[in-house]
Amino acid sequence: MQIKIDFRYQVSGFEVLIKFVSMGKKIILTFDSFKGSLTSLEAGTAAARGAKLAFPDADCIIFEMADGGEGTCTALTRILGGKQIYAMVSDPLGNPIRASYGICGETAIIETAAASGLTLLPIEKRNPALTSSRGTGQLIADAINRGCRKFIIGLGGSAVNDAGTGLLRALGFRFLDSAGVEVPDYGKNVGEISAIDTSEIIHQLSECSFTCVCDVDAPLCGPKGASMIFAPQKGADQSTVIILDKALKNFGAIATKTIGLDLTNVPGVGCAGGIGFAMAAFLNAKLKSGIETIIEVSDLDNIIKGAEIVITGEGRIDHQTCMGKVPMGVLRHARKSGVPVIAVGGSVEQEAIGKLNVKGFTGVYSILPGPCEMTDCMKREVAAANLERTVSQLLRLYFAHS
């Protein structure tokens, strides 16, 4: 039996798409990152090993994927043939950090996770009342200084809930309280803002265009907004969540008065703690689905044709998976070609399984073999082994009954 390996993209030793070409079953393996454990490419590679264990003749296609969160910059930069750039900026707590972004011609590809990401902070220091998105704005400013005028901003994986005010500050915006004094950084202070001063913004912003790729379709405020849904995951207790939601409502009202347009309920403006709102309101950014953007530029629709099954997943599968995450995007496109989809995750919220089945997933499974300490099961080698084993067993079962 002859097996041919075809690397579609190869940059600095990494492959965006890996094909094992033979006469066997065509299996698509496309994952979001397993946050803190595996990158999208590492997850796909582990899954491919599992598929080959079950069916050595299988045609396994590993497809790097992201939805606007971690991995978006890497995936898009590789697909578009760009280069990685580094800059010293502020992390969510204001400490200096070396962060990266991509440049493809005059287009900069930046993700909020790089400078304002949750994984940049230890668990004990996570509190969205005390974090700022300034570092992401500094990356934008750095790219402008390098000549970039087009921007793709991945909104996902952030540690912030400051309505993007930190980002805007780095671009010259000033936020004043009722006495005309500039309000300090960080989410807890957004509720003090009474006026927005744009007199000192970077003049090149008028030459720039922005596209924000979103991993969820949340509004700015309210029960399904940035604070209520996502702030608890960033370290906020219930009392802090209420304070932050009121702060975003205040900022939304001030911004609406300033620009003469209410964007607070536009799907996606609640992404990254309200950065989506800041970008749409003050930088005229277009908000697009992150997963749809990746799929569009990477030609997944054509690659998926003729496949017998698609396996996708992410670190945690829960109610948010239905809100624009990678597995849902993959499902929508696979169904166009009538290809069944199975989702696997490091952990799975039981209440979400039935909903995902209704959406169209053939099955939803956890890769954990049993009780496991989080620190152990999130180790790269453990997560990879669990994913490899799970995919191998699922495929044996699926093809035995198909």
Structure tokens at 307: 């496949």
Beta-sheet pairing, 83-90 with 96-104: antiparallel
CB within 8 Å of 395: residues ≥ 6 apart: 27, 50, 51, 54, 55, 309, 311
pLDDT confidence of residue 237: 96
Side chain identity at residue 247, one-letter code: A
Closest by CA position to 162, among listed 262, 279, 259? 279
Q: DSSP letter for 120, please.
A: G
> What tens-digit pLDDT sequence spans the chain (402 residues)?
233 333 343 333 334 444 433 447 999 999 988 887 898 889 999 999 999 999 999 999 998 887 777 778 888 888 888 999 999 999 999 999 999 999 999 999 999 999 999 999 999 999 999 999 999 999 999 999 999 999 999 998 899 999 999 999 999 999 999 999 999 999 999 999 999 999 999 999 999 999 998 877 899 999 999 999 999 999 999 999 999 999 999 999 999 999 999 999 999 999 999 999 999 999 999 998 877 888 887 788 888 999 999 999 999 998 878 776 889 989 999 999 999 999 999 989 999 999 999 999 999 999 998 888 878 888 999 999 999 999 999 999 999 876
Q: DSSP letter for 232, please.
A: G
pLDDT confidence of residue 324: 66
Closest by CA position to 333, among listed 355, 317, 312? 312
CB within 8 Å of 13: residues ≥ 6 apart: none
The domains of the chain, with CATH numbers, are 4-65+299-400 (3.40.50.10350), 72-291 (3.90.1510.10)
DSSP 287-354: EEEHHHHHHHHHTHHHHHTT-SEEEEEEEEESGGGGGT-HHHHHHHHHHHTT--EEEEEEEE-HHHHH
For tokens 């009474």, the residue is 194
